[in-house]
Every structure is written in structure tokens, then in C-alpha cells.
């Protein structure tokens, strides 16, 4: 974290006192910290406190331009390597989600190209309100990452989820974000694309077809790849879990068509692809502009085949190592090997989703690796993170030529 530029954006809530502690700990860790405070935040703690702790002037007013050579909110946005909004009130989350820029904090965040992390802090019922959930979802889809609040006693007297995460834990996440891979990291310099989660195929504005994928396997693979030094692009369908810290790129998608577009946009520049996503095989032939009303009798919906993304990648690949997944319920090896050949994969990870500990939504998996040279390797029940490390170990060997890919 030494000499990293962190812009801390403080909005108005009782948790502002924690933001002052966070400022101190970030500075002690070697970061350069600048602080923006909203008018409401200044009702709880004086800007002088943050100025003393950060050793930098505190931004409080969009129109207070101290340096005529720069525009303050643009200069602050360009300066930052990372922006943290902490505490983030329901009000500030709503403004950011809707593109409202009416003070120094919101104008700066909207002008920024650096990663933005938001750390909510509010009453448990406010955090659970549909409007707040909706705004968080919008920001998440826009690429903003969230530091989940913890549970405990709140200033309002309630006990529940809504406490700003402890400064020490936020600092650790920042440290992980900026951590450079070791020189001997096995995947240092490799760009890995990982797809995860389900897709949603719309029927009308309120209904869609999807599947049971939770994204846990793909997110575990992304975490393992980051730990091994890779630059990881994670392309994810709608899930309810947080992406791992340290991603090179996060691309949220909805439909199979969105997934294909995202994958093809990064395929030529990557070294390896891991396709864990459960992409829909079919999509409704027509999507209604209005909610379909209930009526007597049966309903028939016509479907069209979606593009076979994995097969297309197999046909296009040049230098890339391509790994697929096969979630089966019977004849696992036969179907896995057939998919391996038909999709021109270098390796496939297969499992029986009916097996105990191996289905959708579990934290564990029981898989078998199948290779183009006829080999297979069966793994015992283990966490999806451990499965990912074993998979990446095999992929590294294939890429190095210890086991020649096709």
C-alpha cells in the first residue's frame, strides 16, 4: 500500500467516527489519503480531524477551488488509485445509483475511473428496504464493489446488519487489492478469463428463465487464480455473492447473448479460459413488452437455441488454453469426454450434481478432470476453492508444456 492514493469519501452517519480511524490506519500502512466530507458528515466530525489524520486538506465544497490550475473534483478523481465511500448512507447510495451529482462527493465519484468501493452503514431496516437494495444492485451492475456491513448493536438501538465494517478489516481488503504477485507466482503475467453463475432469458418485463447456478465454483476459481498471481477477468451472471478482491476486471451480464459478447470481447487477449457459467441453451423466441396476463388453459412458449459459446471459443482458439465444465446427472464420463472432443477443449471438469456435496449452491464439490490425451484424475470431496487450486495446477502444467494441450 506504500504511496497508493486512496480517496476516502465520508457521508453523514454516526459511523463517521470509524472513518477517522480508517484514515489513520490507511496512513499508517503507507497510503496517501485524501478525504471528501459531505455537509451531513461534518455534523458528526470536524474536517480538522481528518486533516490532522490524513495530513492533507479535506474537500468539503465543490465550489471551493483553492488551486486555479485544476478543477478540484476532477483533480481528486484523477489522483485516486482507489475510492472508498465509508460510511455510505442510504442517501448517498441512492444518489450514486441514479447519477445525481450535487456535491463534492458525488461529482468526484461520477468523474472517477479508479475502482470504487462502497461501505454501507445504516439502520438494519433501512439496509433491508427494497429501494436501498435496488440502488445497491444498480451500482453493483455498474461495477461498484461493496464492503458488506457487519451485524451487531447499532447506534439506533437495534441489533442487526448495518454496522460499518471495522477499519482493520477494510485496511486488509485494501492491502489485498494492491498486493503484487510474488515473482515466483505460477500464474504471474497470465490473463485468465472465468465465466460464472447463471444467465437469465427474459419472457416479459417481470419474468425470466434461469437455472440453479449460484456462481460459487466460478468465484472460487477467480479467487484462486488471483492468489496465484493471474490477471483475472470474471464474467458473471446474476448472483448474490461478492467478487473476490484483486480482480483485473469484472463484467456483470444477464443473458446468454450478453455472456457471449463479454467473453468474445476479451478472448483474443487472454491466455486461459475457464467456463464454469451455466449458460442457457434456449431463449424465448419473442419477449413481450408488457407483463403477460394470466389466462385459462395452457401456455406455449417458443424457444430459440442460444449460441454455443464454448464451441465457438474452441473453434476460435489459437494460443488459449480452454477449460469447460460438465454438470451431469448420469453417464458423467461419457458426456464429459464427448463435450471435451466436440468443443475442442484442453481439459474438462465434470461432476454429478446429484452426488452429496457436489450440487448447485454447495461450498464443496466432487469432480473429475478429463484430458485430451485420455487421462483422467478423480478428486475427493473438497472445497470449491481447493478444487480450483488443483484445476489451476493442471492448467499451469498444460500451458507450460509438461502435458501438451491439443
pLDDT digits (tens, 9 = 90+) for 81-132: 999 999 999 999 999 999 999 999 999 999 999 999 999 999 888 898 999 9
Residues 287 and 365 in one domain: yes
Is 281 among the annotated ligand-binding positions? yes
Is 339 annotated as belonging to a binding site? Answer: yes
The answer on 37 and 149 residing in a single domain is yes
219 and 121 both lie in a single domain: no
Q: CA-CA distance, 289 to 298, in Å (whole number)?
A: 21
Same domain, 109 and 196: no
Give me the average pLDDT of each 10-residue run along the chain (406 residues): 94 94 96 96 96 95 84 93 96 96 96 93 90 89 84 68 88 84 80 97 95 94 93 94 88 96 96 96 95 90 96 96 93 94 96 81 90 92 91 93 52
Indicate whether 238 and 141 sit together in one domain.
no
Same domain for 230 and 162?
A: no
Q: What would the pLDDT profile of 29-61 be if each residue is shown by its tens digit? A: 999 999 999 999 999 999 999 999 999 999 999
Residues 160 and 208 grouped into a single domain: no
Instruction: From 178, 209, 240, give the residue that closes a domain.
Output: 178
Q: Give the chain's length.
A: 406
Check if the beta carbon of residue 376 is closer than 8 Å to that of residue 337: no
Enclosing domain of residue 45: 5-178
CA atoms within 13 A of residue 219's CA, in its CB half-sphere: 21
What are the residues facing 328 on neighbouring strands?
A: 352
In a domain, 183, yes or no: no
Instruction: Tell me the CB-side half-sphere exposure of residue 302, using CA atoms within 13 A.
Output: 4
Residues 228 and 140 reside in one and the same domain: no
Cβ-contact 132, 140 below 8 angstroms: no
Number of domains in the chain: 2
- Residue 343 known to bind ligand: yes
Spatial CB neighbours of 321, under 8 Å, sequence gap ≥ 6: 271, 272, 273, 346, 347, 395, 398, 399, 405
User: Which residues does the annotation mark as catalytic?
Assistant: 156
219 plus 348 within the same structural domain: yes
Amino acid at each position: 500500500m506504500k504511496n497508493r492514493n486512496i480517496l476516502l469519501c465520508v457521508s453523514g452517519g454516526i459511523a463517521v467516527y470509524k472513518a477517522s480511524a480508517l484514515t489513520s490506519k490507511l496512513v499508517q500502512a503507507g497510503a496517501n489519503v485524501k478525504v471528501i466530507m459531505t455537509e451531513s458528515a461534518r455534523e458528526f466530525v470536524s474536517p480538522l480531524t481528518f486533516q490532522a489524520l490524513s495530513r492533507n486538506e479535506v474537500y468539503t465544497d465543490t465550489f471551493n477551488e483553492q488551486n486555479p490550475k485544476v478543477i478540484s473534483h476532477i483533480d481528486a478523481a484523477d489522483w485516486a488509485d482507489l475510492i472508498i465511500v465509508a460510511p455510505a448512507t442510504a442517501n448517498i447510495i441512492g444518489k450514486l445509483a441514479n447519477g445525481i451529482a450535487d456535491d463534492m462527493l458525488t461529482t468526484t465519484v461520477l468523474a472517477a475511473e479508479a475502482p470504487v468501493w462502497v461501505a454501507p452503514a445504516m439502520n438494519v431496516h433501512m439496509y433491508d428496504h427494497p429501494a436501498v437494495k435496488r440502488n445497491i444492485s444498480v451500482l453493483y451492475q455498474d461495477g461498484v464493489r461493496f464492503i458488506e456491513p457487519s451485524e451487531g448493536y447499532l447506534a439506533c438501538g437495534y441489533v442487526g446488519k448495518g454496522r460499518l465494517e471495522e477499519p482493520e478489516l477494510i485496511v486488509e481488503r485494501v492491502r489485498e487489492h494492491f498486493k503484487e504477485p510474488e515473482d515466483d507466482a505460477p500464474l504471474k503475467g497470465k490473463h485468465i478469463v472465468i465465466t460464472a453463475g447463471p444467465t437469465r432469458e427474459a419472457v416479459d418485463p417481470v419474468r425470466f428463465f434461469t437455472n440453479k447456478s449460484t456462481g460459487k465454483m466460478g468465484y472460487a476459481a477467480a479467487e484462486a487464480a488471483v492468489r496465484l498471481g493471474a490477471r483475472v477477468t470474471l464474467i458473471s451472471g446474476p448472483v448474490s455473492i461478492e467478487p473476490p478482491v484483486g480482480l483485473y476486471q469484472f463484467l456483470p451480464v444477464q443473458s446468454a447473448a450478453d455472456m457471449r459478447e463479454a467473453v468474445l470481447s476479451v478472448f483474443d487477449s487472454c491466455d486461459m479460459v475457464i467456463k464454469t457459467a451455466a449458460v442457457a441453451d434456449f431463449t424465448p423466441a419473442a419477449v413481450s413488452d408488457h407483463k403477460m396476463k394470466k389466462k385459462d388453459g395452457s401456455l406455449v412458449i417458443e424457444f430459440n437455441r442460444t449460441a454455443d459459446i464454448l464451441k465457438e471459443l474452441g473453434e476460435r482458439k489459437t494460443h488459449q488454453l480452454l477449460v469447460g465444465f460438465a454438470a451431469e446427472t448420469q453417464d458423467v464420463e461419457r458426456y464429459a469426454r464427448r463435450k471435451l472432443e466436440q468443443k475442442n477443449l484442453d481439459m474438462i471438469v465434470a461432476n454429478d450434481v446429484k452426488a452429496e456435496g457436489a450440487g448447485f449452491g454447495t461450498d464443496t464439490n466432487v469432480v473429475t478432470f478429463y484430458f485430451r490425451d485420455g487421462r483422467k484424475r478423480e478428486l475427493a470431496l473438497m472445497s470449491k476453492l481447493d478444487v480450483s487450486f488443483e484445476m489451476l495446477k493442471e492448467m499451469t502444467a498444460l500451458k507450460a508444456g509438461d502435458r501438451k494441450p491439443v
